[in-house]
């Protein structure tokens, strides 16, 4: 009987030690990931967001500065829908249309104040209401997109131009 009690005690003690070791490793990995996210936010000029999608940040950082090319969707040159389609394919494993109007037509509208990381943002940059530009929302008003003048970059919905031309946010409907 004593042997059984001793074995039970050792089993419980070993399990406790293993859990503590595991949580220490997990905490270290989590803090390293948070530090990386904060570093990437700083590189991109974004406010810190420890819960940000790491893969989305890495993708955006990697594509930042890619030149604009109408109809393009590669790192040699991309337009807004080409960049957005790549984000959705690589990060969210979703195939979306290649034209901003078609993406908009297949998205559920979301108001500006309800946008969440990974949502789509749509603009009518030629005036009126015809969708001509799309980007991927990050947080705090920031979004990633391919600008016709500066290529892949991060902008803010509070900037005058984007405030004037913003039409809607959207969530992709599968």
- For 160-172, write each residue's pLDDT tens digit: 999 999 999 999 9
What are the CA-CA distances from residue 89 to residues 22, 85, 132, 134 (Å)?
33, 6, 21, 15
- Of 123, 133, 136, 154, the active-site residue reads 133
16: pLDDT strictly greater than 80: no
Predicted local confidence at residue 45, as pLDDT: 96
Predicted local confidence at residue 26, as pLDDT: 53
Which residue's structure tokens are 């590669």?
74
User: What is the pLDDT averaged over residues 121-142?
Assistant: 96
What are the CA-CA distances from residue 137 to residues 83, 91, 122 (Å)?
13, 13, 10
Task: Pick 53-172's CATH classification: 3.50.50.60, 3.30.365.10, 3.90.1720.10, 3.90.470.20.
Answer: 3.90.1720.10
60: pLDDT strictly greater than 50: yes
User: What is the pLDDT averaged over residues 19-41?
Assistant: 73
Helix (H, G, I), strand (E, B), or coil: what is residue 133?
strand
| pLDDT over 90 percentage in the chain | 79
Contacts of 115 (CB under 8 A, 6+ apart): 121, 137, 169
Looking only at the bridges linking them, the beta strands covering 166-172 and 151-156 are unpaired
Indicate the pLDDT class of residue 50, thresholds 50, 70 and 90: very high
In this structure, what token pair is assigned to residue 83?
Answer: 């960049």
34: pLDDT strictly greater than 80: yes
Residue 156 or 26, more confident: 156
Predicted local confidence at residue 75, as pLDDT: 97
- Of 37, 40, 57, 80, the active-site residue reads 80
User: What is the pLDDT averaged over residues 76-86?
Assistant: 98
Instruction: Look up 133 and say whether it is catalytic.
Output: yes
- Of 46, 120, 145, 151, the active-site residue reads 145
Predicted local confidence at residue 29, as pLDDT: 62
41: pLDDT strictly greater than 70: yes
User: What is the pLDDT averaged over residues 54-77?
Assistant: 97
Which residue's structure tokens are 């943002």?
121
Count of residues making up the chain: 174
Instruction: Look up 80 and say whether it is catalytic.
Output: yes
Instruction: Look up 69 and say whether it is catalytic.
Output: no
Predicted local confidence at residue 31, as pLDDT: 87
């Amino acid at each position: 009987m004593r042997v059984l009690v001793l074995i039970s005690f050792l089993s419980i003690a070993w399990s406790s030690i293993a859990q503590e070791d595991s949580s220490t490793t997990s905490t270290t990995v989590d803090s390293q990931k948070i530090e990386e996210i904060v570093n990437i936010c700083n590189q991109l000029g974004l406010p810190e967001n420890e819960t940000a999608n790491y893969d989305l940040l890495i993708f955006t950082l990697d594509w930042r500065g890619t030149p604009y090319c109408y109809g393009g969707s590669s790192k040699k040159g991309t337009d807004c829908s080409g960049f957005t389609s790549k984000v959705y394919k690589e990060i969210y494993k979703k195939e979306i249309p290649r034209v901003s109007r078609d993406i908009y037509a297949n998205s559920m509208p979301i108001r500006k104040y309800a946008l969440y990381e990974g949502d789509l943002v749509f603009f009518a940059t030629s005036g009126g209401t015809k969708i001509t530009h799309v980007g991927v929302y990050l947080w705090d008003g920031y979004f990633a997109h391919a600008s016709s003048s500066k290529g892949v970059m991060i902008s803010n919905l509070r900037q005058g131009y984007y405030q004037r031309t913003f039409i809607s946010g959207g969530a992709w409907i599968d």
